[in-house]
Amino acid sequence: MKLTNLTILIFIIFIKISVIGQNVNIIPQPNSAVFDEGSFNFTREISLQYNKTNKEITEIVKFFTMKLGEFPANTFSKIKNEVPNRIEFYLQKTKGNSEYYELIVQKNAIILRANTTKGMFYGVQSILQLVNNYQRGNRVSIPCMQLQDQPNFSWRGMHLDVSRHFFSIRSIKKYIDLMAYYKMNTFHWHLTDDQGWRIEIKKYPKLTEVGANRKETLKGHYNKNPQEYDGTPYGGFYTQEEIKQVIEYASDRYVTVVPEIEMPGHAVAALAAYPEYGCTGNSIDVATKWGVFDDIYCPTESTFTFLENILSEVIALFPGKYIHIGGDEAPKTRWKESEFCQKLIKDNHLKDEHELQSYFIKRIDRYLTSKGKKMIGWDEILEGGLSPNATVMSWRGTQGGIDAVNQGHDVIMTPTSNCYLDYYQSTDPSEPLAIGGYLPLEKVYKYDPVPEDMDDTRKKLILGTQGNLWTEYIASENQLEYMMLPRILALAETGWTKPKMKNFEDFCGKLDDQFDYFNRKKLNYADKLSELNSKVSIDDEKGLVLDWFTFRKKDQIKYEIYNENGAMIDEGTVKDRQFTIEKSGKHRAYVLKKGAIFGNPIDLDFFIHKAAGKKITLTNDPAKQYSGNGKSSLINGLRGSTERYGGPEWLGFSGKDAEAIIDLGNKLSVSSFATSFFHAPGQWIRAPKEVIIYGSEDGIKYNEIGKAIPEVGNEKIVRVDFPLKSSKPIQYVKVLIKRHGIISVGEQGEGNEAWLFVDELEVK
Ligand code: ACM
């Protein structure tokens, strides 16, 4: 008997412990959640109980009541005094940090406690989400639960570029509302760039009179040849009064606004207004196309006075501690040509123009620091030596962030591979035009801003993460929403929730309720949950195997298989079926909803060549963020997308040649080799210099059996297909792909290693 009681007790304790990580229908997932029996019926009359003499709590409750007013009328009947069904708010010292809150949902009461109003605000957002996410028809029945929650990172940011395209104050407020709803706290406002200066500066009115307007805008994609323009003038800017309004609006939502004033590069709009601060003094126009421009600020004393005067107005406006000064993508062409710059380099014993950039940034840092502000810059500010007080935003990957942390600096991780929400989010060819790349929800979600093997002291310097929305290809509020939603939810969870509490499938399971919310708010979003995904891998026994899946569990997937001649040889329902691929031919699948095909069917055209499904080893690993479905992506019988290089079939290498050794299993005679490379100069991706193939009978002694120099034209895909000359059958094929190397001066990404993206290695 005793033993049984003990067993039950242990069992109960086990259940309590195991449910700490319970999946609550709130995004971001709270860090500790325990469900209790019963539920709180929100549909009844409710009283709000709080200390009405406390101004801060009263403000929060006012916000809460305002938000409740946005719910459909039938969601709850009324706020009334003295009804037993109640929500209680307490501002009191409990455990946790300044953003901590705890929420107890009981049958008749929801009790919210927090250390600070900030924590209380997040508790309120959780209640609002519970009401939204537990709506079923006319009923809102919130399960009883206990949450103890605080964020994993202090910087949970979203960036918005308003230079390439301008967004109204109303749009900006909507953006901030969405951020706040998902407990994000930092709005990085990219206010100046080559294509438009968007902030009123009273001392320099031409910045907006001239710099806020361009005469026309590039139409279609930058890579399109020839480029075309729309012929329509474009402009817009925010007055200082409007900016104050935004700052106040954000502050009411516990969002800090970080302004970005770009320097020394991305300054064409400013130089169009005041050419005297460039190196040539020549008059130039506000940029009408995207990219990187040679005209940058010249580091003269009068330029520093100009920039300090601008910054002093910016500092007076923005109460937050950070000012972002850009620092990225500043070509050194003008500085190289300028006598003044060359003399400055010499007089200050600088090594080159990179040290001059560092000199520039350090002066600005000294100014900002003297005004009590902290400077942030993109990771290029590491070049030529990091300024002492700088915080680094790592965007060209994570190495800049790691280097800065190693030098003891604070870092925000926002690598293009996982945080650039201007990239495509789907493989669907009908997706609206985007800058390029491929960043599906899963890849945003699975990002961890803390690099592996970082020690605890360094980890603390990673303040958090941020999503960036560059707007070259985002011209409307509608499109902005589409690019944000739902990817910012994934980012919000990465910023808030501890990695061990994150689970992508659980996250996806909550999205339908979020989509209902977006529908009610008339927000445009990308629902890709029912989009088909395929995974082709190499199984030691079965060879090539194919799995079809979606991220919406209840989806029904149908398949069809066609032979090489186009005749259908099989069809059915996928369920949990895995397909073994032995022959060339097409595998088609589609999602069926209510008897109709949903979205586009996906076709996988398998081309079974001599290396397909065999064993492959790579001398150098691809970059972690561009590792496709692993090395087998190179010999799985499938070619990659011709539009998106981030997908499962492409492997991306940086700073290393690609070298693969393929074991064909037996000695085979080979006649030719083919593969493709992605070539997108705007994204710093270049076809390689050379491809060399070696053959071997024993895997020890290799002979060169073919080579090719890729021919680069205007196309994104560069293909090589060339004969192999081997006198004997071979078992081993070594493929050596020599990368492009450093990008030349005057090209986009100059001075950086070009990316190498490699597709299927086809041995015939
Ligand atoms: C950047 O994307 N140029 C920071």
Cα–Cα distances in Å, from 669 out to 507, 732, 763? 50, 11, 10
695-715 pLDDT, tens digit per residue, is 999 999 999 999 999 999 988
CA distance 15 to 718: 57
Average pLDDT over residues 421-433: 91
Question: Coil, strand or helix: which one is 435?
Answer: coil
Tokens at 666, concatenated: 């037996």
Residue with the larger pLDDT of the pair 716 and 285: 285
Q: Residue 475 falls within a domain, yes or no?
A: no
Question: Coil, strand or helix: which one is 409?
Answer: coil
- Do 361 and 491 lie in one domain? The reply is yes
CATH number at residue 715: 2.60.120.260
Cβ atoms within 10 A of the Cβ of 693, count? 27
Q: Residue 527 falls within a domain, yes or no?
A: no
- Do 121 and 188 lie in one domain? The reply is no
Query: Could you tell me if the CB of 657 is within 6 A of ligand 1?
Result: no
Question: Coil, strand or helix: which one is 586?
Answer: strand
Helix (H) or strand (E) holding 286: none
Quote the pLDDT of residue 629: 86
Q: How sure is the predictor about 76, in pLDDT bands with cuts at 50, 70 and 90? A: low
Q: How sure is the predictor about 7, in pLDDT bands with cuts at 50, 70 and 90? A: low
Cβ atoms within 10 A of the Cβ of 587, count? 21
- Do 280 and 410 lie in one domain? The reply is yes
Tokens at 369, concatenated: 């620091």
- Do 109 and 224 lie in one domain? The reply is no
Atom of ligand 1 nearest to the CA of 329: 3
Tokens at 656, concatenated: 């290393």
Average pLDDT over residues 197-217: 98
- Do 310 and 419 lie in one domain? The reply is yes
Give the pairing of strands 730-738 and 658-668.
Answer: antiparallel
Atom of ligand 1 nearest to the CA of 420: 2
Active-site annotation holds for 329: yes
Query: Could you tell me if the CB of 294 is within 6 A of ligand 1?
Result: no
Q: Residue 7 falls within a domain, yes or no?
A: no
Q: Residue 468 falls within a domain, yes or no?
A: no
Q: How sure is the predictor about 139, in pLDDT bands with cuts at 50, 70 and 90? A: confident
Question: Coil, strand or helix: which one is 140?
Answer: strand
Active-site annotation holds for 349: no
Give the pairing of strands 86-91 and 109-114.
Answer: parallel
Average pLDDT over residues 497-505: 96
* Structure letter (DSSP) for residue 21: B
Query: Could you tell me if the CB of 89 is within 6 A of ligand 1?
Result: no
What residue owns the CA closest to ligand 1's atom 2? 395
- Do 101 and 203 lie in one domain? The reply is no
Which of 109, 128, 149 is where one domain is finished? Answer: 149
Ligand 1 centroid to Cα of residue 459, in Å, is 24
Tokens at 568, concatenated: 């259908």
Give the pairing of strands 411-413 and 391-394.
Answer: parallel
Which of 126, 149, 172 is where one domain is finished? Answer: 149
Quote the pLDDT of residue 8: 55
CA distance 438 to 423: 6
Quote the pLDDT of residue 20: 58
Quote the pLDDT of residue 266: 98
CATH number at residue 577: 2.60.40.10
- Do 62 and 208 lie in one domain? The reply is no
Q: Say which of 193, 194, 353, 753 is annotated catalytic.
A: 193
Query: Could you tell me if the CB of 420 is within 6 A of ligand 1?
Result: no
Tokens at 309, concatenated: 């005067």
Ligand 1 centroid to Cα of residue 160, in Å, is 12
354-379 pLDDT, tens digit per residue, is 999 999 999 999 999 999 999 999 99
Quote the pLDDT of residue 18: 43
Residue 9 has pLDDT above 70, yes or no: no
504-540 pLDDT, tens digit per residue, is 999 999 999 999 999 999 999 999 999 999 999 999 8
Query: Could you tell me if the CB of 378 is within 6 A of ligand 1?
Result: yes
Question: Coil, strand or helix: which one is 580?
Answer: strand
Tokens at 761, concatenated: 């290695």
Cβ atoms within 10 A of the Cβ of 672, count? 15
**What are the DSSP calls for 165-195, one per residue?**
S---HHHHHHHHHHHHHTT--EEEEE-EETT
Q: How sure is the predictor about 225, in pLDDT bands with cuts at 50, 70 and 90? A: confident
Closest CA to 249 of 136, 149, 168, 170: 170
315-326 pLDDT, tens digit per residue, is 999 999 999 999
Helix (H) or strand (E) holding 446: none
Domain containing 378 equals: 155-437+446-463+480-520
Quote the pLDDT of residue 1: 42
Ligand 1 centroid to Cα of residue 325, in Å, is 12
Query: Could you tell me if the CB of 161 is within 6 A of ligand 1?
Result: no
- Do 425 and 563 lie in one domain? The reply is no
Mark out the alpha helices in 420-572 (DSSP H runs).
441-445, 456-459, 477-484, 487-496, 504-520
Cα–Cα distances in Å, from 359 out to 345, 353, 387, 401, 756? 9, 9, 9, 20, 33
Closest CA to 761 of 734, 729, 731, 741: 734
Quote the pLDDT of residue 747: 84
Active-site annotation holds for 190: no
Q: Residue 5 falls within a domain, yes or no?
A: no
What residue owns the CA closest to ligand 1's atom 3? 328
User: Which of 153-162, 233-242, 544-553 is least confident?
Assistant: 544-553
Half-sphere exposure of 724 (CA within 13 A, CB side): 27
Query: Could you tell me if the CB of 237 is within 6 A of ligand 1?
Result: no
With tokens 């709005």, the residue in question is: 187
Q: What strand order describes the sheet that includes 533-539?
A: 533-539, 543-549, 579-581
Average pLDDT over residues 307-311: 98
226-269 pLDDT, tens digit per residue, is 999 999 999 999 999 999 999 999 999 999 999 999 999 999 99
Tokens at 278, concatenated: 């460039």
600-647 pLDDT, tens digit per residue, is 899 999 999 999 999 999 999 999 889 988 999 999 999 988 877 878
CA distance 379 to 723: 44
Q: Which of 328, 382, 383, 466 to mutate to test the pocket of ligand 1 (most atoms within 8 A of CB)?
A: 328
CATH number at residue 59: 3.30.379.10
Average pLDDT over residues 50-78: 86
Quote the pLDDT of residue 27: 98
- Do 255 and 315 lie in one domain? The reply is yes
Domain total in the chain: 4
Ligand 1 centroid to Cα of residue 762, in Å, is 36
- Do 315 and 246 lie in one domain? The reply is yes
Q: Residue 528 falls within a domain, yes or no?
A: no
Q: Residue 709 falls within a domain, yes or no?
A: yes
User: Which of 17-31, 108-122, 123-137, 392-406 is least confident?
Assistant: 17-31
Query: Could you tell me if the CB of 395 is within 6 A of ligand 1?
Result: yes
- Do 184 and 226 lie in one domain? The reply is yes
Buried-state track 294-318, b at ≥16 Cβ within 10 A, e below 16? bbbbbbbeebbebbbebbebbbebb
Atom of ligand 1 nearest to the CA of 266: 3
Residue type present at position 303? T
* Structure letter (DSSP) for residue 635: G
Contacts of 674 (CB under 8 A, 6+ apart): 719, 720, 721, 722, 762, 764
Strand partners, 324: 260, 376
- Do 637 and 677 lie in one domain? The reply is yes
Question: Coil, strand or helix: which one is 750?
Answer: coil
Q: Say which of 149, 161, 294, 329 is annotated catalytic.
A: 329
Quote the pLDDT of residue 3: 47
Which of 149, 170, 205 is where one domain is finished? Answer: 149
Quote the pLDDT of residue 21: 67
Ligand 1 centroid to Cα of residue 41, in Å, is 48
Atom of ligand 1 nearest to the CA of 416: 2
Closest CA to 735 of 701, 700, 697, 695: 695
Quote the pLDDT of residue 242: 98
Ligand 1 centroid to Cα of residue 707, in Å, is 37
Ligand 1 centroid to Cα of residue 328, in Å, is 6
CATH number at residue 242: 3.20.20.80
pLDDT above 90 as % of the chain: 85
Answer whether 171's CB lies under 8 Å from 480's CB: yes
- Computed over every residue of the chain, the mean pLDDT equals 94
Quote the pLDDT of residue 17: 42
Q: Residue 67 falls within a domain, yes or no?
A: yes
Average pLDDT over residues 344-356: 97
